[in-house]
Amino acid sequence: MKHEKDNTFAGRRETSQNAKKQLLERIKSAPQPDPEELNRKNAEKAAQVLARQTRQADRQRVKDAEAERLLAEKEASIQADAQALLNGEAEATKSAETEAAAGAERKLERDRRYAARKARQR
């Protein structure tokens, strides 16, 4: 194994600090972006964000309109079902009244025949 001369804690710490300094120097010496280029890129990003928000708002408006249309259709369907139910109940009531009147007429006819038969027997 290779043993370096400065393999002590202090030596490792110094090596680490030197590496950090070199990295910092490399970062500082890197070419800086042009301010005009940065402004142009920021403006492009802002325009993209605005366009995205506009598209999202349009999609949301379409979804809301579709939801309103479906709600209106559902309400109309419920209203039509309720009207049909009311018509059916009215028809059933009318049918029941007609049946009751026919039953009363049959009873009167039966009673009349009974009375006529009794009258003949006397």
The answer to the question of residue 30 being in a domain is: no
pTM of the model: 0.44
Task: Indicate the number of domains in the chain.
Answer: 1
Within-domain flag for 70? yes
Nearest by Cα to 100 from 108, 38, 7: 108
User: Is residue 7, in this structure, part of any structural domain at all?
Assistant: no
The answer to the question of residue 3 being in a domain is no
3 state DSSP class of 10: helix
pLDDT category of residue 6 using cuts at 50, 70 and 90: low
Distance of CA 65 to the CA centre of its chain: 12
Nearest to 47 by CA among 32, 85, 114, 55: 55
Q: Which domain, by its residues, includes 110? A: 37-121
Q: Does any domain span residue 83?
A: yes
Map tokens 């009673």 to a residue. 111
SS3 2: coil
The answer to whether residue 115 is domain-embedded is yes
- For 14-35, the pLDDT digits (tens) are 999 999 999 999 988 888 888 8
